[in-house]
Amino acid sequence: MTQGDPGHSDAHRRLARALELAGLGAFEWDMAGGVFVVSPRMAAITGLPAGPMAASGMRAIEPFIHPDDLASFRAQKDLQRANGGLYDLEFRHIRPDDGRGVWLRVAGVLARDRDGRARSLTGIVEDVTRQKLEEAQRQTLLDELDHRVKNALATVQALATQTARGTTSLDAFLQTFAGRLKAMGSANELLTAARWRGAAIDHLVAAELGVYPPGQTDWQGPELYLTPRAANALALGLHELAANAVRFGALSVETGHVELSWRRCAEGGFELTWSESGGPTVGPPARRGFGSTLLDQVTGRELNGDTSIEYRPSGVLVRLRAGAAAVTPRPETVPEAPAPRSAETASAASAAPDLKGARVLIVEDAVLLAMELETGLADAGARVIGPAYELEEALAMLDQPIDAAVLDANLNGRSVAPVAQALAARGVPFVFATGYGEVAGPGGFDAPVIRKPYDVTQVAAAVADLLRDKPPHPRMSHPRMPHP
């Protein structure tokens, strides 16, 4: 078929149409004749004029390449030409019509004559600016994630060190450290739900004080959102106040009461007041502990403000002032306030559960967590089955007698729902242990959910509750899509 044939013209038009639908421009470069032909679609992408233009060599296009990419372009071009003349290059292009920069991918094939001399280059051009921007955004997100993970690990390490310095026994250390870690986890959970744009003060307060009976705690204040840094600081500060109130202050007795309020300040920050009453007579501590240091220095500095503590005989009074930098606008995505736990749940978590003889399956993909669960449940008297670290491993363990199970909601990216469904069909109760922020577990099962980080005693208590109030089988509502 020759170029003058109607079939050739039809094929050429079909090819041009296909390239246009794919968003690709095309070019033909007669290198012997010094003519470079730009298709209309390539002209729209590059800003070069459509049609033929003079081009005596590949250097003719170099003025349109971003200066920072020119050396790389030349190196790639020379390497690919030496490897057979199949080109696939990416570079930033400066449009000659409006000066805008775009990322281009240029792919082409070099044709040679019988003597091996370059005769022509035919290829396509694709605008990959969007892909490059998305790639840069992904890298930025990965860098930010890496930064946050390292900060979190460093903070946990510092909390462990400071907690160890202030405690004299392993049990006291574990209890204090677990509480501080839980406060950090609650703040991060709220921040994640709001895409790390901020957390509401009332949500932070509810996460910390919602565990106590409603008659012992009250809080009120305007809707006010804190930056991630300020939210983490306030969460730790509130935890220290609550922990001290439980050990020495108003929350150590049933008649005690904690009132918490906050207000906006004219200069843009806020002031929070923690007031205790109805508890035992208090006085200044004999020594300055980590909690007082955190309130006075860390929390104050992180909130760009200051903290004052009064040890009144009637109860502790704390005033915390924060600067305007601690406050952020209302995020576009705002999570629901944490659901308060009942006093019974709180006391059950702190009580020593009895699982003597109970056969408990552990399904958890994190080795350290699985080991901790195995030790904690065994200490409570359970006969541990597993742990199972993978979905198939867990399913293979279901052919033996099981009284209850602790299920990680996500196993290396796969939902644990098939295991839950099999257990539910057999009438075996289970509890979900998950790092996800939702209240329900995967698959729509009506089963307890314990969010990480958790205390192993809390998990053991939840299993004990399952066995004590064991229903015929966990009810299943309308199934939801499992986690990816």
Separation CA 195–CA 394 (nearest Å): 33
How does pLDDT run across 253-300, given as a tens digit for each residue?
999 999 999 999 998 899 999 999 999 998 887 776 666 777 777 677
Q: Which of 445, 443, 450 is nearest to 475 (CA)?
A: 445
Low-confidence ranges of the chain (pLDDT < 50): 1-3, 8, 341-350, 439, 472-484
Specify whether 315 is located in the same domain as 256.
yes
Domain count, the chain: 3
Separation CA 452–CA 442 (nearest Å): 15
Q: Encoding tokens for residue 449?
A: 């959910």
Specify whether 214 is located in the same domain as 362.
no
Q: Parallel, antiparallel, or unpaired: how do β-strands 24-30 and 270-277 relate?
A: unpaired
The contacts of residue 210 (CB under 8 Å, 6+ apart) are: 338, 339, 340, 341
Specify whether 24 is located in the same domain as 77.
yes
pLDDT the model gives residue 441: 57
* Exposure letters 349-377 (e unless 16+ CB within 10 A, then b): beeebebeebbbbbbbbbeebbebbbebb
Separation CA 101–CA 65 (nearest Å): 9
Spatial contact of 163 and 177, defined as CB atoms under 8 Å apart? yes
Spatial contact of 431 and 382, defined as CB atoms under 8 Å apart? no
- Give the CATH number, domain containing residue 463: 3.40.50.2300
Specify whether 266 is located in the same domain as 280.
yes
Specify whether 68 is located in the same domain as 115.
yes
Global pTM exceeds 0.75: no
pLDDT the model gives residue 442: 62
How does pLDDT run across 381-421, given as a tens digit for each residue?
999 999 999 999 999 999 999 999 999 888 888 889 999 99
Residues in the chain: 484
Specify whether 368 is located in the same domain as 292.
no
Q: Encoding tokens for residue 18?
A: 């296909």
Separation CA 103–CA 130 (nearest Å): 8
Separation CA 93–CA 101 (nearest Å): 6
Assigned domain for 315 exists:
yes
Assigned domain for 138 exists:
no
Assigned domain for 476 exists:
no
Characterise 6 by phi-psi region: left (phi > 0), alpha (psi -120 to 50), beta (else).
alpha
Assigned domain for 23 exists:
yes
- Give the CATH number, domain containing residue 61: 3.30.450.20
Q: What are phi and psi of 77, to 5 degrees?
A: -60, -50
pLDDT the model gives residue 338: 62
Cα 81 to chain center, whole Å? 45
Specify whether 217 is located in the same domain as 257.
yes
The contacts of residue 2 (CB under 8 Å, 6+ apart) are: 8
Separation CA 409–CA 484 (nearest Å): 11
Specify whether 375 is located in the same domain as 245.
no
pLDDT the model gives residue 304: 84
Specify whether 295 is located in the same domain as 169.
yes
Q: Spell out where 168-229 has E strands.
A: 199-200, 217-220, 225-226
Specify whether 65 is located in the same domain as 187.
no
Separation CA 365–CA 388 (nearest Å): 7
Specify whether 163 is located in the same domain as 262.
yes
Spatial contact of 87 and 104, defined as CB atoms under 8 Å apart? no
Spatial contact of 25 and 19, defined as CB atoms under 8 Å apart? yes
Quote the domain boundaries for residue 295. 143-340
Assigned domain for 134 exists:
no
Assigned domain for 162 exists:
yes
Separation CA 117–CA 465 (nearest Å): 83
Assigned domain for 479 exists:
no
Q: What are phi and psi of 224, to 5 degrees?
A: -150, 130
Assigned domain for 478 exists:
no
pLDDT the model gives residue 260: 96
Separation CA 422–CA 361 (nearest Å): 13
pLDDT the model gives residue 262: 96
pLDDT the model gives residue 190: 74
pLDDT the model gives residue 289: 67
pLDDT the model gives residue 279: 92
In 3-state terms, what secondary structure has residue 394?
Answer: helix
Q: Encoding tokens for residue 64?
A: 């349109």
Specify whether 32 is located in the same domain as 88.
yes
